[in-house]
């Protein structure tokens, strides 16, 4: 190996080590520490502010240049070894082993340790180096990241996988294992990151579970539906569920009835609507949350690719994805599957399996009646053609089933009242 080549290899390795230390120092800086550094060194404020706004831009370019230096040094050493050796394969293997060991110590361990131990001292040269390199090579790193995302299956990371999210997730996991972060807090932090990859269709209330009202209903009927269902905002439709014309707010209807008692019977829901917000089912949850905050909306109608109503989503649905299920203050911890009130009257859980119901209440269902149905609540919904609300009633051979009590934030029916009847009658909807 010539002397010039040796000097170049040493320079490349030392520079790569410097960049590794810079990267380690910058990733160790908290926002509070950065604020203290800015106060101590005001002339670095602009550079630190830009780093805080977009750290990936600086960390990615440091990674690119560091890897380039390491690979170039390795190639130079390997070339020199092969040129001056009779056994080229052995020489190549020796060069690789040597450079791996040197790179691990000089670039991997040493500078990174110093960068973490002395992050404030390293921060000034680190931010200066990263700033100037990003000005020159920033567009190149962005191009390479786009190419990498294009050839990688699945959705890639806009800023690359080398920093920010991936490393932060790992730090959170380490903090949880060490006891600094509770398990629930760890899950919440991960859920926040997942919002950007979660589609609205994964969180929405499907159209089969929506509670809605026709535009031709009067205010009394609308208020009755609201009281029975427990919802304060109800979509209003015209011809069918694919034609949502607006949202009825219970407080608007109640205010109007309070001002004019005759309005209860003489005025219709369509006269007191608020504009509905429509969003595609492919919209991400984080984008929708920002939109809801910006536009001050609580509910949105989700539409599919054909423009039909796919479901409904509220701001609580998104928040539940972060913090977990939000229980209603009236919810019971447990619901008994079967509670006999009198000899011919019982209260059952809406989750009771239809086959268990048939066995316990000595009745039978045809295969068509229970097709695609597992629970009693599902059976009622199937025969009604809509989600049941308290008071919804159907009859099965020998028994009358009445949806009784809603539970949970989505007000799904929790219990069903079962009453003995003299003979079976036709299935009826008593909404």
User: Which residue segment(s) compose the domain that 213 sits in?
Assistant: 201-323
Share of the chain above pLDDT 70, in %: 80
> Domain holding 346: CATH number?
3.30.465.10
pLDDT at residue 62, rounded to an integer: 81
Residue 331: inside a domain:
no
Residue 28: inside a domain:
yes
342 and 367 fall within a common domain: yes
pLDDT at 246 over 70: yes
Other C-beta atoms closer than 10 Å to the C-beta of 319 total 12
155 and 9 fall within a common domain: yes
Provide the pLDDT confidence category of residue 429 given band limits of 50, 70 and 90. very low
Highest mean pLDDT among 13-22, 183-192, 217-226: 217-226
pLDDT in tens, 105-156: 877 778 778 887 877 777 778 888 877 887 777 677 667 666 766 666 655 5
188 and 77 fall within a common domain: no
pLDDT at residue 161, rounded to an integer: 53
Number of domains in the chain: 4
pLDDT in tens, 6-15: 888 888 888 8
384 and 307 fall within a common domain: no
259 and 175 fall within a common domain: no
pLDDT in tens, 256-277: 998 888 888 888 988 888 999 9
Residue 426: inside a domain:
no
Residue 431: inside a domain:
no
Highest mean pLDDT among 49-53, 121-125, 396-400, 410-414: 396-400
Q: Do you know the residue count of the chain?
A: 431
Residue 328: inside a domain:
no
pLDDT at residue 197, rounded to an integer: 72
Mean pLDDT for the stretch of residues 13-25: 84
230 and 148 fall within a common domain: no
Other C-beta atoms closer than 10 Å to the C-beta of 195 total 17
Mean pLDDT, the chain, rounded, equals 79
Mean pLDDT for the stretch of residues 163-167: 52
211 and 243 fall within a common domain: yes
410 and 389 fall within a common domain: yes
């Amino acid at each position: 190996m010539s002397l010039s080549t040796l000097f170049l290899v040493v320079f490349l390795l030392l520079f790569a080590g410097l960049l590794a230390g810079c990267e380690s120092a910058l990733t160790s800086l908290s926002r509070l520490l950065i604020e203290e550094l800015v106060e101590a060194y005001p002339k670095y404020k602009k550079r630190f502010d830009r780093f805080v706004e977009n750290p990936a831009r600086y960390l990615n370019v440091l990674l690119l240049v560091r890897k380039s230096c390491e690979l170039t040094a390795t190639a130079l050493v390997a070339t020199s070894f092969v040129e001056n050796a009779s056994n080229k394969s052995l020489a190549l293997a020796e060069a690789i082993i040597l450079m791996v060991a040197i790179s691990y110590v000089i670039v991997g361990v040493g500078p990174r340790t110093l960068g973490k131990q002395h992050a404030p001292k390293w921060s000034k040269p680190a931010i200066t180096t990263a700033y100037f390199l990003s000005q020159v090579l920033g567009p190149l790193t962005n191009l390479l990241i786009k190419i990498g995302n294009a050839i990688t299956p699945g959705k890639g990371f806009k800023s690359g996988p080398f920093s920010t999210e991936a490393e932060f997730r790992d730090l959170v996991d380490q903090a949880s294992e060490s006891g600094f972060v509770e398990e629930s807090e760890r899950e919440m932090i991960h859920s926040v990151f997942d919002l950007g990859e979660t589609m609205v269709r994964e969180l929405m209330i499907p159209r089969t579970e929506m509670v809605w009202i026709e535009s031709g209903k009067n205010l009394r009927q609308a208020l009755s539906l609201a009281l029975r269902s427990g919802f304060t905002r109800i979509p209003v439709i015209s011809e069918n569920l694919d034609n949502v014309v607006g949202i009825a707010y219970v407080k608007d209807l109640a205010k109007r009835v309070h001002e004019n008692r005759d309005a209860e019977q003489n005025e219709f829901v369509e006269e007191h609507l608020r504009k509905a917000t429509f969003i595609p089912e492919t919209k991400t949850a984080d984008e929708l949350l920002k939109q809801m905050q910006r536009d001050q909306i609580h509910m949105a109608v989700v539409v599919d690719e054909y423009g039909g109503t796919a479901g409904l989503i509220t701001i609580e649905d998104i928040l539940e994805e972060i913090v977990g299920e939000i229980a209603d203050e009236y919810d019971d911890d447990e619901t008994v599957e079967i509670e006999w009130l009198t000899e011919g009257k019982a209260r059952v859980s809406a989750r009771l399996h239809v086959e268990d119901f048939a066995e316990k209440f000595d009745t039978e269902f045809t295969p068509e009646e229970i097709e695609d149905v597992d629970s009693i609540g599902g059976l009622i919904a199937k025969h009604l053609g809509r989600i049941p609300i308290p008071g919804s009633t159907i009859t099965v051979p020998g028994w009358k089933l009445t949806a009784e009590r809603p539970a949970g934030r989505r007000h799904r029916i929790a219990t069903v009242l079962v009453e003995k009847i003299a003979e079976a009658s036709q299935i009826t909807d008593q909404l």
